[in-house]
Amino acid sequence: MTLRADIPDETFTGILAKAFRNTAFVTGFVITLLILAMAILSYVWTPYDVTRLVIADKTQGPSLAHWFGTDHFGRDILAMIMVGARNSIAVALVAVGIGMGVGVPLGAFAAARGGLVDEALMRVNDLVFAFPALLSAIMITAIFGPGAVNAIIAIGIFNIPVFARVARAGALAIWPREFILAARAAGKSSTQISVEHVLPNIATLLLVQGTIQFALGILAEAGLSYLGLGAQPPMPSWGRMLFDAQTRMVVAPWMAIFPGMAIVVTVLGLNLLGDGIADILDPKSRRQR
Amino acid sequence: MSLLEIEDLSLTIGGARILKGMGISVAPGEIMGLVGESGSGKSMAALTVMRLLPHAARATGRVSFDGIDILAASEDQMCALRGDDIGMVFQEPMTALNPVKTIGEQVAEGIRWHSGATRAEAEDRARKMLDRVGLPEAKFPLSRYPHELSGGQRQRVVIAIACALKPKLLIADEPTTALDVVLQAQILDLLRDLVAENRMGLLLISHDLAVVTEMADRITILRHGEVMEAGDTAPTLSAQLHPYTRQLAQASMHVPARPKTHLADTAAKPLLEVEGVTRDYRGRRISLFRRAPDVRAVDDVSLSMAAGQSVALVGRSGCGKSTLARMVLALDRPSSGAIRFRGETITGRSEAELAPARRDMQVVFQDPYGSFDPRQKVERLIAEPLHVLEKWPTRAERREMVAHALHEVGLDQRDMDKYPHEFSGGQRQRLSIARAIITRPKLVVADEPVSALDVSIRAQILDLFASLNQKLGIAYLFITHDLTVARAITDEVLVMHEGRIVERGKTNDVLDRPQSEAARALVAAAPDLHRAIARRMQEQG
């Protein structure tokens, strides 16, 4: 009589009910939703036009007219944060997409083949992993020129080994299971088995890693645009706003506080979301609840 | 005076009633057998005595151990009792030991904690205890790690930990279920000796009636949390007054009806031929430039099976029988030798060339939990082998075939829209069989297909195997360490030992008059309910 850990009570409503009892998940989910809503809203409405400079209103503190104050060109900070969210999310999302799209098949393939192929792929992986991501991103943007697209590619490439590793580790744990053996005995090819049996069973792992990489992507994008290698003016971006605020910290602290807060809150929200998902879907933590 | 006395114990876990007014007692020096099928609450009863229940559990009633009221005792009192006066042996020796600590540390840990002995003293006592359980210093120094030991050796370490402080009561929860019959006999002997030496009380929990009969002075039969019958072992089991006792005893000795038996017909072309197959595994790398010598898992094995014939491959764990099965299924390649299925060689073929052979060759695994992808519905899981058909059936045809296969194994066709976790262990094994027969194969390889099941379920599954053999003429290669299973449904038996087949012949001949050393050891160690009851009758009168 053993207690089985891996019996999933996996009805959709069951998971949903569990999700809404999990504080981390709910908090993270709400924050992420708010940031997303803000970014989407910015397409149809912003309090002020972010490209119009109103020198008369420059470096004003928070007020009823400008909730988060204005910058040194008189642009509304709230409006800039809203538009900047668009940029941050797009860069991070596409970068995660690149990482997953290339990394997961690579990792799954390495796990399925094993032997020399696995060894070779993973050593190349280590090589890419060995470069500090931000430094290499700087190198790439320095060669191909600054801009949002190059930032996406740079961050995306460094997501690949992360996903390849996670996918490979997860797949290696699934491969020796008996249902895989049964599928092999039924004559399925390793590609088919990877798609039908392995990937669905490591999906939660990848989902959690995805939210973490998403948060890291937002940080990386902010870092790059702070260095002037990300989205170019007049397109506002959070990192750029921090850079502009740097020299005016003493006279106009709101210029740094609000974009900084935006980054912190977004990353926090995504991390909570990832933690929450891991908790909900992990059978081990499930039993204790 | 009883050592352990449980009266009117009721236990609920999150609304589910696990135990209902259960009672049991153990006297010093006595072996009490607690028998029940999975879900009967026997492990929970043991955990109640240790007060190691899950947090959501609520227990009422009276549990007294050596004059102490267990249910009212403080956590400090319990810590003093656990490991010192009450020892526990668990089912799974793989997970009951800490993999990063040496066996010496793990045995000495309890001694130091409870007796306040110095490290040197504790290690000295740990050494003596390990010697006692049959792990002598020369081969098993204290510095060994659990992964360096085999399953049986690990279970000896677990017993050494449990008995190191000479507890008054030892609770053994399915201590031999994960071991093969020869190891099982050795571990049971060890437990019996330890009980006699120290006048320990032993609460032996098992689903295996034969094991309990051989060991226990008294027996308690539990079902759905209620005691069905309790009393001295021999009279209880020979009279079988309670219907459930009778049902359990009959299920343990069940032999399915098989009117037709197929014996190897030398004239007909054999279905499966294995010729001189050998499988080597490369030795583990022990340093950068050196490898351990290769391990020969299967050594020059030849066998042949006729269509419709049912053959058992028996042997102790690690004898290479599962490796052989994998090679027969073309899931592993032999290092040398050839395997022919229906006259065609299957060794060294590509997956595409194997498709026709795969249609006629299916597999049933031991673990009904692990052999299904938890994220797919039954319809897809059972239809999986259809993939090798020449023509991929339409969805309607597929559902039709799945429904038919489910019907054949005694399940409802509405079950195809459920997930595997919605089924019990026995039902899942039926699903496994449904998956195996959906392509109408000629050969099914079954690797310990009933050893994870309760006795009554096991009897049903054996019946199902037998009836499918009769109805569809499927040949079986049964891999098992359980001789009752071999006897129940096979015509021929092959005894495997250290990679070689050491004996072969008709099942009854081999099992009644084993010739080889390995076969004799297996037969002698196998628990047999008839024999055990007869012996008990003599002893207890």
Task: Write out pLDDT tens, residues B343-356.
Answer: 889 888 888 888 88
What is the Cα–Cα distance from B222 to B225, expressed in whole angstroms?
6
pLDDT score of B9 more than 70:
yes
pLDDT digits (tens, 9 = 90+) for B166-213: 899 999 998 888 788 888 898 899 999 999 988 999 999 998 888 999
pLDDT digits (tens, 9 = 90+) for A28-78: 999 999 999 999 998 888 888 888 888 887 878 888 888 888 888 888 889
pLDDT digits (tens, 9 = 90+) for B520-529: 999 988 888 8
Tell me the shortest Cα–Cα distance from A246 to chain B, in angstroms.
Answer: 51
Interface probe, candidates A119, A174, A178, chain B, greatest B C-beta count within 10 A: A178
What is the Cα–Cα distance from B186 to B191, expressed in whole angstroms?
9
What is the Cα–Cα distance from A109 to A86, expressed in whole angstroms?
34
Mean pLDDT of B445-452: 87
Mean pLDDT of A93-100: 93
Q: Which residues of A touch B (CB under 8 A)?
A: 1-2, 4, 6-10, 177-179, 181-189, 196-197, 200-201
> How would you classify the pairing of strands B295-305 and B272-281?
antiparallel
Q: How far apart are the first and last CA of chain A?
A: 21
Tokens 């890693």 identify what position? A209
| Interface check B422 vs A, CB under 8 A | no
**Smallest Cβ distance to B367: which of A178, A187, A200?**
A178
Mean pLDDT of B347-374: 86
For residue A179, which residues of chain B lie inside 8 Å, CB to CB? 370-373
DSSP state of B284: P
* Strand, coil or helix: B300: strand
Torsion over CA: B176, B182, B185, B190 (sign)? negative
**Smallest Cβ distance to B372: which of A4, A179, A185?**
A179
What is the Cα–Cα distance from B497 to B62, expressed in whole angstroms?
50
For residue A197, which residues of chain B lie inside 8 Å, CB to CB? 373, 376
For residue B40, which residues of chain A lie inside 8 Å, CB to CB? 1
What is the Cα–Cα distance from A218 to A120, expressed in whole angstroms?
31
- B478 - beta bridge partners? B312, B446
Q: Searching chain B, which residue's CA lies closest to the CA of residue A7?
A: B421
pLDDT score of A286 more than 70:
no
Of A7-16, A143-152, B233-242, B499-508, least confident by mean pLDDT is A7-16
- B26 - beta bridge partners? B4
For residue A6, which residues of chain B lie inside 8 Å, CB to CB? 369, 374
Of A32-41, B17-26, B35-44, B300-309, least confident by mean pLDDT is B35-44
Band of pLDDT at residue A5, cut at 50, 70 and 90: very low
ipTM exceeding 0.85? Answer: no
For residue B329, which residues of chain A lie inside 8 Å, CB to CB? 185
What is the Cα–Cα distance from B415 to B29, expressed in whole angstroms?
50
CB contact under 8 A, B351 and A181: no
CB contact under 8 A, B374 and A6: yes
Largest CA distance in chain A: 77
pLDDT score of A268 more than 60:
yes
Torsion of CA A181, A185, A188, A194, to 10 degrees: 0
Mean pLDDT of B402-421: 89
| Interface check B390 vs A, CB under 8 A | no
CB contact under 8 A, A10 and B419: yes
What is the Cα–Cα distance from B376 to B380, expressed in whole angstroms?
7
CB contact under 8 A, B91 and A2: yes
**Smallest Cβ distance to A201: which of B351, B362, B373?**
B373
User: Chain B, 402-421: which have a CB under 8 Å from a chain A CB?
Assistant: 419, 421
Tell me the shortest Cα–Cα distance from A37 to chain B, in angstroms.
Answer: 33
> How would you classify the pairing of strands B57-65 and B68-69?
antiparallel
Tell me the shortest Cα–Cα distance from A174 to chain B, in angstroms.
Answer: 10
| Interface check B370 vs A, CB under 8 A | yes
Q: Searching chain A, which residue's CA lies closest to the CA of residue B447?
A: A178
For residue A196, which residues of chain B lie inside 8 Å, CB to CB? 373, 376
Mean pLDDT over each residue of chain A, to the nearest integer: 85
For residue B457, which residues of chain A lie inside 8 Å, CB to CB? none
CB contact under 8 A, A187 and B385: yes
CB contact under 8 A, A187 and B376: no
Q: Searching chain A, which residue's CA lies closest to the CA of residue B388?
A: A187
CB contact under 8 A, B370 and A189: no
- And the tokens for A49? 């036009």
CB contact under 8 A, B369 and A10: no
Contact A159, A107 (CB under 8 A): no
| Interface check B374 vs A, CB under 8 A | yes
Interface probe, candidates A3, A15, A113, A179, chain B, greatest B C-beta count within 10 A: A179
Band of pLDDT at residue A269, cut at 50, 70 and 90: very high
What is the Cα–Cα distance from B271 to B273, expressed in whole angstroms?
7
| Interface check B39 vs A, CB under 8 A | yes
Residue B151, H or E segment? helix B151-163
Tell me the shortest Cα–Cα distance from B126 to chain A, in angstroms.
Answer: 29
Tell me the shortest Cα–Cα distance from A197 to chain B, in angstroms.
Answer: 7
What is the Cα–Cα distance from A58 to A155, expressed in whole angstroms?
34
CB contact under 8 A, A2 and B362: no
> How would you classify the pairing of strands B218-223 and B31-35?
parallel
Q: What angle do CA B152, A180, A1 make, to 5 degrees?
A: 40
Band of pLDDT at residue B284, cut at 50, 70 and 90: confident
